[in-house]
Chain A
């Protein structure tokens, strides 16, 4: 178990207040569990001191020269992980919403070969921070879309707290959605025949910074993701035939 290399990918945009805490918590897990975990911060062209703060934590920092958005930033981390021979990549938000203590829950199913992708869901046991009402409406909506298209139900398809193995890394190296990538990535994984599993985790309310999704852009989010899911579905379907 100790020779398995794990990358923790932390996309960060203006997270100077949270980033050191997030990295520190991951390092704590590394010490207490003896995992070979490497935190990798992707600074998505922040306008504050995120880059300097992350560097001072002593972790690997990938500094994007232009702002790519969450999907592009996370994909940078995936590309890095694939090239540097990591076996598992975990995505953790830079704002402290995803507690590092829950990481073992995400990687155990991959260790045991039960899943290729593990998604941390806050709605299975309904403990911890439960998100805003509007977001929950969106999550329910995506549940039906996923059920309809790939016949799998997810309780928390917008969760960015996930672990993926090398098989999935090869796929996201080639293509990963730009904006709001989480629900669309599920279609991508399911269509490539990867096993996706949800595990219950407890999330926290963001410690600072601003959510990537406001109330007004929530509707844009749903339309955009619906279109993206539909076209990804069509693309993958035509490839298979």
Chain B
């Protein structure tokens, strides 16, 4: 095993452990962690299988192996960002509804406390 492989595997495992820690402490929800865990597993797999990148590039008909990495990584990031935008939109909608309910309920409580 070469030095770079060891570094890559060690970093990936450290990253995986950190994600695990975040989930255990309740700071990251499992559904958002899935994508990170899958990515890390990919990284580990290709660190172990040195020729894997060449083989995959050949399969997709890409001449230079690093281009596959860039294309795949950028695509994955874009999809994940879109997913985050969807999550934020949902949160914003829920936040709005909650704020409106609070305003209406607060007014009702104040009105009732006035009449009593």
What A residues does B96 contact at CB under 8 A? 68, 72, 178
Interface pair B103/A62, CB less than 8 Å apart: yes
What A residues does B103 contact at CB under 8 A? 42, 62-65, 76
Interface pair B106/A66, CB less than 8 Å apart: no
Interface pair B106/A72, CB less than 8 Å apart: no
Nearest B residue (CB) for A72: B96
CA gap between A66 and B104 in the complex, in Å: 13
A83 at the B interface (CB under 8 A): yes
CA gap between A42 and B100 in the complex, in Å: 10
B85 at the A interface (CB under 8 A): no
Interface positions, chain A 75-96, Cβ under 8 Å from B, are 75-76, 79-80, 83
CA gap between A80 and B101 in the complex, in Å: 9
Interface pair B107/A63, CB less than 8 Å apart: yes
Interface pair B106/A79, CB less than 8 Å apart: no
14 contacts between A and B (CB under 8 A): A60-B107, A62-B107, A63-B106, A66-B99, A68-B96, A68-B99, A68-B100, A72-B100, A75-B100, A76-B99, A80-B104, A80-B107, A83-B104, A178-B96
CA gap between A76 and B97 in the complex, in Å: 9
Kindly provide the distance from the CB of A84 to the nearest chain B CB, expressed in whole angstroms.
9
* B interface with A by C-beta (< 8 Å): 95-96, 99-100, 102-104, 106-107
Interface pair A76/B104, CB less than 8 Å apart: yes
Kindly provide the distance from the CB of B75 to the nearest chain A CB, expressed in whole angstroms.
25
A168 at the B interface (CB under 8 A): no
What A residues does B104 contact at CB under 8 A? 62, 76, 79-80, 83
A61 at the B interface (CB under 8 A): yes
What A residues does B106 contact at CB under 8 A? 62-63
CA gap between A72 and B96 in the complex, in Å: 7
What B residues does A68 contact at CB under 8 A? 96, 99-100
Beyond A61-B107, A62-B107, A63-B107, is A76–B95 a contact (Cβ under 8 Å)? no
What B residues does A80 contact at CB under 8 A? 104, 107
Kindly provide the distance from the CB of B33 to the nearest chain A CB, expressed in whole angstroms.
28
